[in-house]
Structure formats: C-alpha cells, structure tokens
C-alpha cells in the first residue's frame, strides 16, 4: 500500500488490516460493502458531508414543544408510527428526527432536579432559568407571593416579536392558559392563577393579574394574532354557560367577557367548534381566537368523538401559519403538544404515543409550508417522563405489546412470551412510577388483558396517583438560519438565545425603541 493511501486510511480512521478472509492477502476488500446497512451508512455520510449551515437571519421563528416528550417517548412513537403502517418500526423516523441539527438540553429548574413545565417554558421563551411553578419571572420570586414578583418580569420571545412588528401565534392542545403556552405572554408567581377566582384577594390587591386576562393585555404591539387551544372557562364570566358542556359555566369573577374584548379588535374572529374553525378564511380573517374545550382539548385518540368537534394539532398549526404568513415582516409561532404530558401522568402510553405522532404531523406541516432559508424551526420538549423501554423484544415486536424475544433463527420472535421472576409476562413499555402499579395477584389477573388497548395503563414500579416527570435531558432538533447553533449538551434557556440571535429580536427591539416605538 502506498504511503499516500496509508495516510488517507489513517486520517479516515480506516483499519489497515484485512476484514475477513479476502481473495488475496492485503487486498482492499471490505466484505460488508454490499451489506444494505453499510450502503445506508455511506448514503447517510454523503448527506452529512453536503450539509452546510444556512447563513443570514431568520424572518420567521417557530418553536415546537412536545410537553413531556422524553427521548424514550420519541423512540417509542417512532416505532409506533412505523408499525401503524405495517412496518417493523425501528427504522422509521418521525418528521422532526430528520432535521439536520441536534442537541440535548438540561431541563432542571433553579430549585428542582426534576422540573415542572412553567419553569422550563419560561427558560426556553425568555432565556432565563427560574423556579418551578412560576411564569415569566426570574428565580428571585417567592411562589404565590405577588409582591416578590415586582421588578422581576422577564421579556419573552413573543413580546419581543410584538415590539418589532412581527405577527405572533400560540397553538396548544392544552388550555391556552396552561403553563407552556402561558409562558409566552404571562408574568406571575403562580402558574395556577389562570383565572381571577384562583388568585387570593390579598395577592389581587397587591397587583397580580390572572393569566387569561394577561393574554388580552399584552402591552406590546397589537397583541397576539392567533390563539388556538382550550380553556374557554377562563375567558367567560360566572353564569355564562359553556356552549358545549353543560354544568361548566365561565369562571371569571370580575364580570369581564374576554372573548367579547378580543372581538373588539378590527376584523377579529372567535370560533369554538370544528365547523366554525373550518369556515375561517385565513386570507381574510383578522386576529383569530379559537377555544375548543372548557379546559384541555381531547386526546388525539378521542378527538373524533367530541360532540362539537375540534381540530387536530396539525390542522391548527396549518391555520396559524396561513394567518401569520400574511405579515411581510415575519412571525413567531409557538406550538405545544400539551397532552403528551397528560397521558404520561395517567400512565397511558397509548395516548401519549398517538399524541406524539400527531405532534410530528404538525411539525411536518410547518416544514412543508415554510422555507428553510428564512424560517428557523426548533423542536424540543420541556421535560421528560419516567417511561421506560426495556426487556429484549424481537425486532418488530408490537411496541405496546408484551415482550417476546427472538428465537435465534433469523431473528423471528419465539412463540412464548418472556417471563419475569414471578412467572408472568411483562410489557416493553412501563413506568418507573404511576397509577399502573399492580400487586402480584393483580398482575396475574391482568395477564390476559390487551396491552395495546387505548385505555391500558402500563405497569409502574412505584404506586403513585399520577406518574411524575423525569429529570433526564431532552432532545432539541433544528432547521433553518441559526440551526447550527443547536449543538452539544446545553442549558435549556440557551434555546431562547438561539432564536434571539437568529431573528435579531433584541437588536431590532432596541432599534424600534430608538425610533419611538415604530417598527
């Protein structure tokens, strides 16, 4: 072998020793060269070598947050989606897993190893890590103490976008006043203060305002342009019946009808069911408010059974983009898959995975309807959950099924199910804690249950009424201008700083201030 070939091989990390028994000693013969996995690896390398960062600044910014979408959730949902198509599932990729830049984010709050959604959402949307349970304020606050929040408000990416004349939108399958969406516009020492009746009188007198009201009173720009999600009860006064759910009237004690106030804006529109939503012409509507449930939206599994109907996350994302893209200056959009988290808390992997697959569809909508050259898309989670993926199931074993390992003859699953030490089968997916915990006798009684049924609760090691968040890192995926800044292991609040740099949010806001507030 020539010196140049030796140097090249060493530079590439290629072994100089023969691989296997080649036809002639010393010949460059890689027997795996025709193996489909080897070929696929070479193609992946070729794609990576062509990858170059997109220069310039982002006109549009989109942040997708899968609430509670741990790495384990992503892996299981990837397999689940593939198996829904009749495939083995393991080679599948969800839409956002194809994005070119990837990192891990550390999710702890300033006071907790395992975080809550309020503190983590504030970190991503304002660039400042803070305590659990508070929104849009720094860590010096005392939870539920209004006076301590004075002077500690932190500016969110949505507020910056409004200052510089961008259109802004929030989409969620949770109540729009829930922790993650609220972090985009609210400042409060208590995430639970979603409506005025929740705030103690003392704290109201100290100046604290409920989250729903803050959505209408953003002091920058012309206010949010698109808001789609749940939480109707927080916007209507007490005594006003919900149009869909009997016995769930409005909760406001101040007598204000926030929907009517929204409609006071020029060309504003309010919708609360699927028929009204589908009738919206995004090319002609003004500010659009859609509140489709008294509180959270249905799980995607159950959505078609809703009496009045409600749009899917992907349909809401499409609508939001169609409205926001009319602004030539650009837009900021926050999209939350909020009910992934809720299904995990219930110990219900089926609904968590279905909502994750729908979340991936929403991401695909955004990728299809925007240009990577001018739109930064970031996809991540606020925190993880204690879902585990274990055992030695054979390739293609149903991800929601019981473990059946390979028989050893070509990787085919063996006929019998694997047994735990108590001689009972067990599922591939389980939780470290939660409501699915079963005693041995209960496990024996449940051994014939259909583990793939939507209502099945995965077994849990520790019995808790509600499964908990996890403290492990979450993945961050990105495409577009500035996406190359998503790299390595980073603090979660760094995500804001990437969006800020890509969209020049603070720089442009400062310029607007110098012009007397004119974008």
Give the 3-state DSSP-derived string for 261-303, with helices as H, strands as E and coil as C. HHHCCCCCEEECCHHHHHCCCCCCCCCEEEECCCCCCCCHHHH
Please give the sequence-ordered ranges of beta strands (E in DSSP) within 176-272, or none if there are none.
Answer: 226-230, 269-271
d(CA 265, CA 256): 16
d(CA 19, CA 275): 64
In the block, residue with structure tokens 């003004």: 286
83 secondary structure, DSSP code: H
In the block, residue with structure tokens 């509507």: 285
Q: What residues contact 322, with CB distance under 8 A and at least 6 apart?
A: 282, 283, 369
Q: Are the beta carbons of 339 and 296 closer than 8 angstroms?
A: yes
Q: Between vectors from CA 263 to CA 261 and to CA 267, what angle results, nearest 5°?
A: 145
Please give the sequence-ordered ranges of beta strands (E in DSSP) within 352-468, or none if there are none.
Answer: 375-381, 384-385, 387-389, 429-434, 460-463
Residue 462 bridge partners (DSSP): 433
Dihedral, CA of residue 202, residue 181, residue 139 and residue 197, to nearest 10: 10
Question: Residue 476 is inside which H or E element, if any?
Answer: strand 474-479
Q: Residue 257 burial by CB count (10 A; 0-12/13-18/19+): exposed, middle or buried? A: middle
Question: Is 117 assigned a catalytic role?
Answer: yes
Task: Point out the catalytic residue in the list 70, 117, 172, 314.
Answer: 117
In the block, residue with structure tokens 């406001």: 252
Question: Which 3 state secondary structure label does DSSP give 204?
Answer: helix
Q: What residues contact 35, with CB distance under 8 A and at least 6 apart?
A: none
Question: Which 3 state secondary structure label does DSSP give 448?
Answer: coil
Rg (Cα) of the chain, in Å, rounded? Answer: 25
Structure tokens at 295: 């509180």
Structure tokens at 217: 């009173």
Dihedral, CA of residue 321, residue 325, residue 326 and residue 327, to nearest 10: 130
Q: Are the beta carbons of 501 and 508 closer than 8 angstroms?
A: no
Catalytically annotated residues: 117
């Amino acid at each position: 072998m020539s010196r140049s070939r030796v140097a090249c091989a060493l530079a590439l990390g290629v072994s100089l020793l023969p691989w296997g028994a080649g036809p002639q000693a010393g010949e460059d013969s890689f027997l795996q060269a025709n193996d489909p996995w080897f070929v696929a690896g070479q193609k992946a390398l070729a794609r990576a070598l062509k990858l170059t960062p997109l220069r310039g600044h982002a006109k549009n910014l989109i942040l997708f947050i899968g609430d509670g979408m741990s790495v384990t959730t992503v892996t299981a949902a990837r397999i689940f989606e593939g198996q829904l198509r009749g495939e083995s599932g393991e080679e599948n990729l969800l839409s956002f897993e194809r994005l070119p830049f990837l990192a891990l984010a550390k999710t702890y709050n300033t006071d907790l190893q395992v975080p809550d959604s309020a503190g983590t959402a504030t970190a991503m949307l304002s660039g400042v890590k803070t305590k659990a349970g508070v929104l849009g304020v720094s860590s010096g606050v005392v939870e539920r103490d209004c006076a301590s929040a004075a002077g500690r408000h932190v500016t969110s990416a949505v507020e910056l976008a409004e200052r510089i004349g961008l259109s802004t939108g929030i989409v969620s399958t949770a109540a729009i006043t829930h922790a993650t969406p609220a972090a985009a516009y609210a400042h409060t020492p208590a995430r639970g203060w979603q409506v005025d009746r929740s705030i103690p009188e003392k704290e109201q007198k100290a100046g604290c305002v409920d989250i729903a009201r803050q959505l209408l009173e953003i002091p920058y720009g012309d206010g949010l342009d698109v808001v789609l999600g749940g939480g109707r009860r927080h916007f209507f006064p007490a005594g006003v019946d919900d149009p869909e759910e009997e016995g769930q009237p409005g909760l406001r004690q101040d007598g204000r009808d926030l929907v009517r106030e929204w409609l006071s804006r020029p060309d504003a529109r309010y919708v609360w069911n699927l028929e009204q939503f589908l009738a919206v012409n995004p090319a002609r509507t003004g500010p659009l408010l859609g509140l489709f449930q008294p509180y959270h939206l249905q799980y995607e599994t159950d959505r078609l059974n809703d009496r009045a109907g409600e749009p899917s996350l992907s349909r809401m994302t499409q609508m939001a983009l169609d409205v926001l893209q009319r602004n030539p200056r650009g837009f900021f959009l926050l999209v939350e898959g909020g009910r992934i988290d809720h299904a995990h808390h219930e110990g219900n992997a089926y609904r968590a995975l279905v909502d994750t697959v729908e979340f991936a569809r929403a991401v695909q909508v955004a990728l299809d309807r925007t240009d990577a050259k001018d739109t930064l898309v970031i996809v991540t989670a606020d925190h993880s959950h204690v879902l585990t993926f274990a055992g030695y199931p054979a390739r293609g074993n149903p991800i929601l099924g019981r473990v059946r390992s390979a028989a050893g003859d070509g990787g085919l699953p063996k006929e019998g199910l694997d047994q735990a030490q108590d001689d009972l089968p067990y599922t591939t997916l389980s939780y470290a804690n939660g409501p699915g915990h079963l005693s041995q006798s209960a496990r024996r009684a449940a051994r014939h249950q259909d583990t793939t049924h939507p209502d099945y609760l995965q077994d849990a090691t520790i019995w808790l009424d509600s499964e908990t968040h996890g403290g492990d890192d979450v993945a961050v995926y990105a495409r577009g201008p500035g996406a190359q800044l998503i790299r390595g292991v980073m603090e979660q609040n760094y995500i804001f700083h990437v969006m800020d740099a890509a969209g020049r949010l603070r720089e442009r806001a400062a310029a607007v201030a110098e012009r007397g507030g004119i974008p």
